[in-house]
Amino acid sequence: MIPLKRRKVSLTVSQQNDTCRFPHLSIFILERKMGTSRRAFLTRLGRSKGFRIKETYSSSITHIVSENNSGDEVQAWLDNQTGRDTNDTSSSVCLLDIRWFTESMEAGHPVTVQDRHTLQVKPKPNIDPNAMLMKSYACQRRTPLKHHNSFLTDALEILAQNAEYNDNEGRSVAFRRAASVLKALPHRVKSMEDLRSLPCLGEHSQRVIKEILEDGSSREVESTRRSEQYQAMKALTGIFGVGVRTADRWFREGLRSPDDLIRTGQQLNRAQQAGVQYYDDLQKPVTKAEADVISDIVEKAVHAVLPGAEIQLMGGFRRGKEVGHDVDFLITHPEEGKEEGLMPKITNWLEEQGLLLYQKTTRNSYLEKMDGPARAPNNMDRFERCFSIFKLQASAESCTSNSTASVQDVSTGSETERHSDQHSEASDWRAVRVDLVVSPYSQFAFATLGWTGSKLFERELRRWAGQEKHMSLSSHALYDSKQNLYLRAKTEEEIFAYLGLEFIPPSERNA
């Protein structure tokens, strides 16, 4: 008997030599409940008989063949691939039992499809069309920046944030998924009936929504918002360089604010020291006008040390936001390898101009052969990057047309000269968080997708890739576990296509 691994490989070797005798048929064999080796055997058999057997599903498929699946199961799988309404009967795809395929193999040609070959799909009860259009994954939905249900989503996001503060990631994600569904609705929710059949709305979220719809507010949400723990954790995690665990430890030690850290003489690392020193500035939203000025400065810095490099404004601003809490940039160069070691050169240029109040640079530690399929997909990439705090002129918004002036107007000074008592309300500059990321050109499309956000949208993309496509997606690459290979892409559109998803532009990824 030929070993399993050898049989899988031989499929791709021989398939190109088979002649298609029935071009009007395009068959997809569903692996579900069948297994890889049997599907490979049936694929080889079909091609040897002159049938066109496709490896992946596409709109060109005319016949789907499955074994040991009900019609409802195959229809549900098909709906997941196409994003169609289950009640939509316009599809011309034939859902067939394996018997049709085996009889066709014996006959040497496609036999006539009879009732005994066809998988029956039970009609679904009438459901609100709005609900049917709402897919369960956020990466399947278009979520605009402005929506109709902020009075509900703000409440759910407070509970999500509080769950995160309490190290309950599962509950936090559940609340955020519920909020994401409400953001994608094309209308304002007026009653619980509007939520009928919507995905991702757990019992807890529905209780909160019901109370807000009936009473105007939720006692749980208001109690959480006013709680000492929530307010303290929000203040402490708002410090640059402070995570949930550190903030929780400080809270248990009786600390409630940045002032408490100063008063008690807490031991802080460099990032946390900068976070406390510039706390008030970093709590203020960054405007799009300020982001544009910083973009001009970064572009000037990058081109000064690497001509021909490409710079892209990322994060919420790429999704169309007018304000944000920081500014993210992705940098690359069309000639692979020229971007290596770029970040220290950029930061040196910025420091010479007196533009950096704080910076920490990390090297690129990603190795595809080691970190690809073996590494669980998550939101942490391994690019060369710099977490920094920029010193930006307060008049920056009026200088968007002259980035050179913005650079020259920023006063220079050493690290020791920058003290919080010198930075008063009347200061002519402010501190702004800026993240700089350098990506190799071959990974730029994946990095662009990963750094555009939103956070939940990216999480759902990775979940879809793993659970629905048996792929591993990161900001570096897309790996297909079935084919045992990396899928290369030059654009975000290509990545969505690999994943079998409709392309969603950045402005509608605000999940």
The CATH number given to whatever domain includes residue 265 is 1.10.150.20
Of 210, 243, 277, the domain-final residue: 277
Q: Which of 224-228, 235-239, 379-383 has the lowest mean pLDDT?
A: 379-383
The listed range with the strongest mean pLDDT (60-74, 197-211, 361-375, 405-419) is 197-211
**Do 368 and 443 sit in the same domain of this protein?**
yes
**Do 377 and 408 sit in the same domain of this protein?**
yes
Considering the candidates 128, 409, 435, 480, report the single residue annotated as catalytic: 435
Considering the candidates 328, 381, 421, 480, report the single residue annotated as catalytic: 328
- Per-residue burial over 54-65, b = 16 or more CB atoms within 10 Å of its CB, e = otherwise: eeebeeebebbb
Note the pLDDT tens digit of each residue in 453-509: 999 999 999 999 999 999 999 999 999 998 999 999 999 999 999 999 999 999 999
Of 452, 478, 497, the domain-final residue: 452
* 398 C-beta neighbours (distance < 10 Å), count: 12
Is there a domain that residue 503 lies in? Answer: no
Note the pLDDT tens digit of each residue in 148-160: 999 999 999 999 9
The pLDDT value recorded for residue 373 is: 54
Rounded to an integer, what distance in angstroms lies between the CA atom of residue 109 and that of residue 46?
A: 10
Structure tokens at 481: 């576990």
Of 163, 376, 387, the closest CA to residue 271 belongs to 387
Q: Under DSSP, is residue 359 helix (H, G, I), strand (E, B) or coil?
A: strand
What's 96's domain CATH number?
3.40.50.10190
183 lies in which domain range?
131-226
Structure tokens at 103: 């009889």
Considering the candidates 326, 381, 409, 428, report the single residue annotated as catalytic: 326
Type and span of the H or E element at 235? helix 228-237
For 268-294, the DSSP string reads --HHHHHHHHTHHHHHSPEEHHHHHHH
The yes-or-no answer on residue 328 being catalytic is yes
Higher pLDDT, 422 or 41: 41
The yes-or-no answer on residue 409 being catalytic is no
Report the domain count for the chain. 4
Is there a domain that residue 356 lies in? Answer: yes
Is there a domain that residue 352 lies in? Answer: yes
**Do 299 and 431 sit in the same domain of this protein?**
yes
**Do 8 and 87 sit in the same domain of this protein?**
yes
Rounded to an integer, what distance in angstroms lies between the CA atom of residue 331 and that of residue 118?
A: 53
Note the pLDDT tens digit of each residue in 106-130: 999 999 888 889 998 887 655 555 4
- Per-residue burial over 215-236, b = 16 or more CB atoms within 10 Å of its CB, e = otherwise: eeebebbeebbeeeebebbebb
The yes-or-no answer on residue 85 being catalytic is no
pTM of the model: 0.71
- Whether the upstream peptide bond of residue 454 has omega within 30° of 0, thus cis, is yes
In the β-sheet with 327-332, what is the strand arrangement from edge to edge? 310-313, 327-332, 429-438, 384-393, 356-362
**Mean pLDDT on 75-101:** 73
Query: Looking at residue 97, what DSSP letter applies?
Result: E
